Structure 1
Amino acid sequence: MKFVLIFLLIIITGTLSYGFYIKNNGDTNGEIIIGISVLAVAFIFMPLFIYHRYKNKNMKDFTFEKFKKELEEKSKSGDGLI
């Protein structure tokens, strides 16, 4: 998966730079290439990257459940900020 992500990043970066190069030369197809590259980043690369980074993680570590419990306990005991 890591190599697929690196390969996609290189391909997308290459097509994006090619699109800017073509656009700079006055061709209107450069804008289409830039748009397709941005869509590829948004809808192909980013979901794959997010899946790769979080596939073995516990999602409860990224929530505020522990913080909310501590805040409720402090507010019940009267030592809280509320």
Structure 2
Amino acid sequence: MKFKLKHLVFLIMLSALGSIFYGLSLKEDDPIAPKFIGGGTIGLFLVAMPLFLWKESKVKNMKDYMLTKENIKKMQEKERKNTENQ
């Protein structure tokens, strides 16, 4: 069975959210509750999000997002067409 990166990111996200909700469900005076919340937050923002962004940006061409003269002209032409249609 081939395990894809999107499945790994999804599992990390689910476990991080589960950890956050478990930490929130514990009593406030429980000393381990902030550790679950913090661990889930770290997993979500420092592990799952960068993995997701890296996975999605692999297929993008960065040249399309650079502000070159050609791309600026294309954007200005699209603006003119949109304003004419309104």
Length-normalised TM-score, structure 1: 0.71
Picking from 39, 42, 46, the partner of 2:42 is 39
Q: How many residues align?
A: 67
User: What is the deviation of 1:20?
Assistant: 0.5
Per-residue CA deviations over 1:24-68 (Å, capped at 9, x if unaligned) read 45312111111111111121111100011111110111222221x
Query: Kindly, what percent of the aligned residue pairs are identical?
Result: 25
Write the distance in 2 (CA, Å) between the matches of 1:56 and 1:40: 24
Q: Secondary structure at the match of 2:60?
A: coil
Unpaired segments ≥5 residues, structure 1: 71-82
Picking from 10, 15, 20, the partner of 2:24 is 20
In structure 2, the residue matched to 1:59 is 62
Which of structures 1 and 2 has the bigger CA Rg?
1
Unpaired segments ≥5 residues, structure 2: 74-86
**Corresponding letter in the other structure for 1:40:** G
Picking from 8, 12, 20, the partner of 1:4 is 8
Which deviates the most, 24-33 or 39-48? 24-33
Length-normalised TM-score, structure 2: 0.68
Write the distance in 1 (CA, Å) between the matches of 2:53 and 2:63: 16
